[in-house]
Amino acid sequence: MCQTVSSEGIYGSGQRTVAVAEAVGLVLAHDITEIRQNEFKGRAFKRGQVVKQEDIGHLLRLGKENLFVLNLRDDEMHEDTAAEAMARALMGEGVELKGGPKEGKINIIAKRDGLLRINKEALFQFNLLGEVMCATLHDGTLVKKGQVVAGTRAIPLVISRNVIERAVATAKNAGWTIGVKEIRKPKAGIVITGSEIYYQRIKDAFAPVIIEKVKSYGGEIVGLHYAPDDRNTIARKLETLIERGADLLITTGGMSVDPDDVTRFAIKSLGAVDFNYGAAVLPGSMFLIAYLDPSKGNGNSTVSTKIPVLGIPACGMYATTTVFDLVLPRILAGEPVGRRELAEMGHGGLCLKCKECRYPVCPFGKG
């Protein structure tokens, strides 16, 4: 008779230990690694594999006198089966699986370049169940196609089917937990404001910075205008850019509280809606965001949806990373940004001003 040693309580009720010589016909509960110096290092036997008579000698040469094997009950699941079921339930749009599960873990990767979105409450409820886990990158991270954005696993080797069913239901009931939103390529119109720049009393340092950041998203600059501190002139320049097909308007300067800082009043005079001035971010507290409806203008615009207008304060000229870097990808992903979103940015919204900026590999903007 085959002598077995129970591992219940540590590995689950479906795992037992058997002598290698008695393992023929049984299912391996774990991978077995083989290392041959200067030749090979990798998996020699895969969990879930049925042990054959011809495998016995190989296993003994690998130093295996005993093996863990599985004997699952109907109310239990193997970790790999559980991991894949959970991953599929957690996935929203724009993500996919990277290969199959390995040792009870499976990775979720970005299916496209874009903005990673994590339903943090759904993720919390999932992880609260115990015996299962999912870890992700920060919500709002810019990711590339093929990049690992999350990993999930069943923690015990053998896990209760009921636990997995609850985990899958929790994820599915949330609608989505992990997704990557596609980022559109903007047609940006830029107005650099300030009489000191317009009359060439000082050199403009804004345009190169803004243009580079727009183009980093594959964007196009449909027009770049300079305007003095005159609200009517600024408004006309913005209208011209709308007529030229701009679907994103960016203004720089004129965001402070001095008498000559009139940019935000020029934007408001165009009938801007969802007008929000001020953000809980440093640098960038005097940031402005509003939306213009081109259908209410002179009818020459080729843009059918509301056009976001971003007002960049002076920090955008000298600070490497500002509120502009936090807001722009969200705008391009089609997300509305208003008072609530700007307020939520306060947690993590303080830039550390490192000597060498490593954004986005840093805590800035990751509340």
- Write out pLDDT tens, residues 82-111: 999 999 999 999 999 999 898 789 999 999
- The reported pTM is 0.83
pLDDT for res 2:
38
Model confidence pLDDT, tens digit, residues 330-354? 999 999 999 999 999 999 999 999 9
State the pLDDT at residue 268: 93
120-159: per-residue pLDDT in tens? Answer: 999 999 999 999 999 999 999 999 999 999 999 999 878 8
Q: Is the pLDDT of residue 115 over 90?
A: yes
The single-letter code of the amino acid at 120 is K
CB 36 within 8 A of CB 182: no
- Cα separation, 317 vs 334, in Å, equals 26
- pLDDT higher than threshold 70 for residue 7: no
Q: What is the pLDDT of residue 3?
A: 39
Type of residue at 279: A
- State the average pLDDT for the chain: 90
Continuous segment of H or E residues that includes residue 184 = none
DSSP secondary structure of 171-206? HHHTS-SEEEE-----EEEEEEE-HHHHTTSS---H
Predicted confidence at residue 9, as pLDDT, reads 41
pLDDT category at 303 given cuts 50, 70, 90 is: low
Q: How confident is the model over 153-192, as pLDDT tens digits? A: 999 878 899 999 999 999 999 999 999 999 999 999 999 9
Name the least confident of 55-59, 251-255, 339-343.
251-255
pLDDT at 212 over 90: yes
Distances in Å between the alpha carbon of 135 and those of 109, 166, 257? 12, 18, 44
Residue 311's beta-bridge partner residues? 251, 288
- 105-110: strand order across its sheet: 95-102, 105-110, 148-154, 132-136
> Mind listing the pLDDT tens digit for each residue in 188-200?
999 999 999 999 9
Which residue, chain included where needed, has tokens 């509301």? Answer: 306
Domains and CATH numbers, the chain: 4-70 (3.90.105.10), 76-181 (3.90.1170.30), 187-344 (3.40.980.10)
Q: Find tokens 């919390």 and name the residue.
A: 124
Contacts of 305 (CB under 8 A, 6+ apart): 247
**What is the structure's pLDDT at 83?**
96
Residue with tokens 């999930």: 152
Is pLDDT at 43 greater than 90 in this prediction? Answer: no
* 187 contacts 247 by C-beta, under 8 angstroms: yes
Q: How would residue 6 be classed by pLDDT, with cut points 50, 70 and 90?
A: very low
pLDDT of residue 304: 61
pLDDT at 4: 38
* Per-residue model confidence (pLDDT) at position 136: 98
CB distance 231 to 338 below 8 Å: no
The tokens of 154 are what? Answer: 């069943």
- The 10 Å Cβ neighbour count of residue 27 is 18
Give the residue-averaged pLDDT of 349-367. 92
